Amino acid sequence: MRFAFIAVKKASYPVRLLCRCLAVSRSGYYAFAKRQPCARSRRDA
pLDDT at 45: 87
Q: Of 38, 35, 16, 13, whose CA–CA distance to 25 is shortest?
A: 16
What's the predicted TM-score (pTM) here?
0.79
What three-state secondary structure class fits 31?
Answer: helix
Question: Which residues constitute the domain of residue 14?
Answer: 2-44
As for how many domains the chain has, the answer is 1
pLDDT at 38: 87
pLDDT averaged per 10 residues in sequence order, the chain, 45 residues: 95 97 97 91 88
